[in-house]
Structure 1
């Protein structure tokens, strides 16, 4: 989210007039103890090391550094705790360098942490805690109140900010509850660190710090493995779901949607290799579909060509590793990049590229997940092509190349649904029958008749609108479906077809003549016209009406005519 100029100014004013004086007040005038700087430096190192090992649960990033900052408050007061918190966020800053308006976000975070320190320390002192206390009850009470108020005030400030910015989140969301759970986990360690450093000095930090960091690291590893298993289960379910899709368009759309939901990618690209030419087949940038036209040579001269050639997968964690060899369409503000090949027939036919503004956005297990998804994607595409080819073959007339009766039925069902849902739509149909076609077969043979049918089909297609559906109805009968054409407009199209057929020479070779000479013949066609909803509300009745107009209005009236259906 980009901040407006007014928001930026308000953030600066908020920090200058509240956070700055509050931080001075906390450090110089709030209850405190003399600082042992060697202990303080150990606290800084431990806090930074802990923050550098976050744990991810859902959309929440959990940091356990409060076990050090609370101990700092118990020992030295709110001023030292405030400084320690500001220093401990350094690893967080490294992870969010990709964010827009980063300086203002950091200033706001600094203000928030100072306010949280003030509120938490005030609550602990009101409850009676004395800095540097050795009393067990006071320590437990002070630490618990400080921790609880810290979590609550942090929660309230963030919730208020989201509401001001127009975000409608629940106050006690699942993400917020994870923060409270992390606070409960760290509280005993904070008390233990404070008590141990009082009695043992600097030795408390390696005695508690090293095990704590190791445990946090193990938790992080377990957390990563758990997330990998969840992602793997989702990928497997997605693979089965993808296999059920029969349309290439459906498969690509679903694949992009799942990638967007499964990985922290800002942009997603599918690069295809079409007979040696590289094209960006699909692109999603910040969740929006984009059309990217880029010369094939631009991609061929970039690092992308290497992955097409060697079929490798790779994950880059920052832009300096790839940006100098990147094509122009990959944005310069991206840092992390993940690239995975798509194999078909043991060849790399495509590449999946995901980019993110955040550094270290992708993990190794996510690279393997995308590779698995790419395999499902390739298999599903191949299956869809075979299915579509089989369907197309079953819905195509082998002789003329036109749609057949089966496809015509499906089209009429679709058009019927459209007419039912919108009474303002119209639909016209032409029924065509070649006049005296039996005489052609009798005189020249069936092979010549087939030639006439094929040439006649091509002639119709050239003389009807692009949105017309042309089908062979059976024998020498053909149908033309015209969505959104009135009966008058359809009649004009039929008349154009009739006149074109009448003057068109058909070249046939006769099987029934002695020398099998090529011969030019001329034919005519009779056409019936019907329209919906003018003549009927049913698409099947529409065909019957056109057929009736064909035989009564055209055939019986002498053939070579266009006749409209009359009720």
Structure 2
């Protein structure tokens, strides 16, 4: 929730203009009557303790102070309540360790609670209320106390929603889980305020112990309940994320989804995944900063070096709440603005295969329970990545020629069908197919042996891949035949490309690495090729016809015409 420097200055100006002057005017109009410091200090201590124990829901602190402020107001009036509330707000913000960049929250909250105290108190007095009366003496006084409490909560809610909508430009819903929790806890604690007020009139300051201790216990119980509920939600989310990771069949997709879900779950500004390479070093393979995927450029880390290296060496997760805790460790790639860091080893078969690092610019951004959840997610992630990589390797082996490493016949036919579908839908304009066959390859095998023939096929595959690059797809079609598919290339350009390929083969001899001549030098063999070219849609209406017509051009137009030439399909 970033706001401009101009608005921050305006908040400070509004505070200076309203709060000090407003408190002074309140003192003049509603001065405290016969109040000793000894009566006020116990309430001040209780309010400070309560303020230091907020219930944090969805990163929003719930300020369970209204019940004490109710008792203070009913006993000592609006001025004392207003001053003690200001001290309590200061205590709360100090307890939350508001960073310097958010220092404007001090005057903003002070101004907000001043307005709440002022308007709810004025409403109480306008309806004929006076402080210091026994609740049992007049039911109307009890009603006014309830009006004060309801108006206090209502005005606070209206101001809070207005700030979120107008100042921070946050979109709804404004009445989420944190609002429900605040409403419920307010309803529960307001009766305690009435009890505290009555007991303090009869018993004095000792009443604060009888009420304060049960409230502290209630706060602890509510905090534990919310924490356990939040952990259960995290565990449920972790299970769902684990299933989603398992459904991905590509390692890159698994990594992207894993980091995306972590950013959605936790207040993450920076996310890094490092891979253990040959048990020697950690290499950065994935880098996300403020939701943007960046090139993972960073020097490798040794075992035991930096935060990631220590996590790798010790096989234990770490959690740092501020930069002071990790500043002496050489972190390498972590930005200097980061404060909180959560790092977890990615373990598979009891071996660390990688390290996850999450960082945030805010201090104490992560909790210990979140460390446990991330540790569980890393286990799901390790299994999902391994399965995806195994699937990719299996798929690649089924799609590739084991000898040349090029795509095989099966993959090429499937891809050609997909590309032809795009052509028919208008997503492609043209499809040019180049079919190549090595001339007299049988004599090469007979003269130099099949191993030498394989060496020629391998080198030819490398030459074709290098020449075609990203403009098309090269596949071994079978035996000594190769096929090249080039989308959106006109037939004339495809013929020029085919001629360049023919010259690339004919003019550069092939090296036989395992064959020597009589002088002990490696043999070089010159070969030629015949090439046929066809283009859809002008030469074919379907994928099989395109292959058939390129094959016809190869054998009729090139082979029968003397070989070592390029021929196009002619109807």
Provide the TM-score with structure 2 as the length reference: 0.89
CA distance in 2, matches of 1:271, 1:110: 45
Distance 1:144 1:418, change over 3 A: farther
Residue 160 of structure 2 is aligned to residue 158 of structure 1: yes
CA distance in 1, matches of 2:471, 2:505: 21
Alignment of 1:10-89 (within 5 A): 10-30=10-30, 32-89=32-89
Match of 1:455 in 2: 459
Alignment gaps of 5+ in structure 1: 512-516
Match of 2:318 in 1: 314
Shift of 1:521: 4.5
Identify which of 553, 565, 568 aligns with 1:564: 568
Q: Larger deviation: 360-369 or 521-530?
A: 521-530
Residue 199 of structure 2 is aligned to residue 188 of structure 1: no
Shift of 1:536: 5.0
Match of 1:514 in 2: none
Match of 2:374 in 1: 370
Match of 1:433 in 2: 437
Alignment of 1:211-360 (within 5 A): 211-275=214-278, 276-291=280-295, 293-296=297-300, 301-327=305-331, 329-360=333-364
Shift of 1:207: 0.6
What do the CA deviations read for 1:49-75 (whole angstroms, capped 9, x no partner)? 223323333454323121111211111
Distance 1:493 1:12, change over 3 A: same
CA distance in 2, matches of 1:557, 1:181: 91
Match of 2:499 in 1: 495
Shift of 1:341: 0.9
Distance 1:396 1:110, change over 3 A: same
State the SS of the aligned residue for 1:280.
strand
What do the CA deviations read for 1:314-349 (whole angstroms, capped 9, x no partner)? 222222211222425323443322121112453323
CA distance in 2, matches of 1:279, 1:382: 17
State the SS of the aligned residue for 1:89.
helix
Residue 185 of structure 2 is aligned to residue 144 of structure 1: no
State the SS of the aligned residue for 2:354.
strand
Distance 1:10 1:317, change over 3 A: same
Distance 1:549 1:320, change over 3 A: same
Distance 1:52 1:462, change over 3 A: same
Contact 2:303 2:312 in 1 (8 A): no
Shift of 1:471: 0.6
Q: CA RMSD in A?
A: 2.9
Distance 1:270 1:451, change over 3 A: closer
Shift of 1:251: 0.7
Shift of 1:268: 1.9
Match of 2:408 in 1: 404
Shift of 1:217: 0.6
State the SS of the aligned residue for 2:104.
helix
Distance 1:487 1:133, change over 3 A: farther
CA distance in 2, matches of 1:422, 1:381: 37
Contact 2:284 2:300 in 1 (8 A): no
Match of 1:130 in 2: 130
Contact 1:129 1:141 in 2 (8 A): no
CA distance in 1, matches of 2:476, 2:95: 64
CA distance in 2, matches of 1:428, 1:95: 70
CA distance in 1, matches of 2:13, 2:107: 10
CA distance in 1, matches of 2:359, 2:287: 11
Match of 2:478 in 1: 474
CA distance in 2, matches of 1:377, 1:335: 25
Distance 1:334 1:401, change over 3 A: closer
Distance 1:432 1:319, change over 3 A: same
How many pairs are equivalent?
562
Match of 1:546 in 2: 550
Shift of 1:397: 1.0
State the SS of the aligned residue for 1:563.
strand
CA distance in 2, matches of 1:233, 1:412: 44
Q: Larger deviation: 553-562 or 96-105?
A: 96-105
Match of 1:178 in 2: 181
State the SS of the aligned residue for 1:325.
coil
CA distance in 1, matches of 2:511, 2:284: 46
What do the CA deviations read for 1:171-224 (whole angstroms, capped 9, x no partner)? 544543333222212211111111111111112111111111012112212221
Shift of 1:12: 2.4
CA distance in 2, matches of 1:146, 1:101: 35
Identify which of 201, 204, 212 aligns with 1:201: 204
Shift of 1:102: 2.1
Distance 1:451 1:285, change over 3 A: closer
CA distance in 2, matches of 1:368, 1:190: 38
Match of 1:387 in 2: 391
CA distance in 1, matches of 2:24, 2:309: 57
Shift of 1:444: 5.8
CA distance in 2, matches of 1:417, 1:32: 85
Contact 1:34 1:76 in 2 (8 A): no
State the SS of the aligned residue for 2:355.
strand
CA distance in 2, matches of 1:536, 1:118: 84
Shift of 1:442: 5.7
CA distance in 2, matches of 1:521, 1:285: 54
Shift of 1:234: 1.3
Provide the TM-score with structure 1 as the length reference: 0.90
Contact 1:32 1:131 in 2 (8 A): no
Alignment gaps of 5+ in structure 2: 516-520
CA distance in 1, matches of 2:490, 2:17: 73
Shift of 1:108: 1.4
Distance 1:560 1:314, change over 3 A: same
CA distance in 2, matches of 1:218, 1:537: 74
